[in-house]
Amino acid sequence: MLFTELDESLVAINLPARTRDEVIDQLLGMLDRTGKVRDLDLARTDIERSEQLMAFGMQHGIAIPHAKTEAVEELLACFAVTENPVDFSGIDGTPSRIFIMTLSPPDQIGPHIRFLSEIGRLLKNRKVRKAILGAETPEQLLRIIKGR
């Protein structure tokens, strides 16, 4: 999955989450609504296990909860922005407002790496991050993510 494959059901602005657990639950809910998550409890367990290995908080207010999991057959991703910053132990100590969740099968490394690379290219640009935070509708957020 590339950003070009995201649709409005997989992006959210003003995600109401206020805690780390709420963010994870709400993002998992977005992915679960696709009908492509075979086992939501397994996905949640694998997300928790993944975070024990490496914090999801990056820098510039970005967090990327992710997991390799048997709960999915293909890479799934969603993108959300919160109104309130949430502590995800960011590298620079900044709480996060931009969230990208990915779930991918353990045996498919290529799509996962390509997607994470695409995320990195997109979000290293300060103007893009500012535009993402300023998006007023899911449609507008989607256009920003897709570079249109």
The pTM of the full predicted model, rounded to 2 decimals, is 0.93
Question: What domains can you pick out in the chain, each with its CATH number?
Answer: 3-146 (3.40.930.10)
| Per-residue pLDDT tens listing for the chain (148 residues) | 456 678 899 999 999 999 999 999 999 999 999 999 999 999 999 999 999 888 899 999 999 999 999 999 999 999 999 999 999 998 899 999 999 999 999 998 787 788 888 888 889 999 999 999 999 999 999 999 888 6
Residue 97 C-alpha from the chain's centroid: 11
Query: In terms of Cα–Cα distance, which of 58, 133, 126, 50 is closest to 91?
Result: 58
Instruction: Give phi and psi for 103, each to the nearest 5.
Output: -125, 135
Query: In terms of Cα–Cα distance, which of 81, 82, 83, 66 is closest to 31?
Result: 66
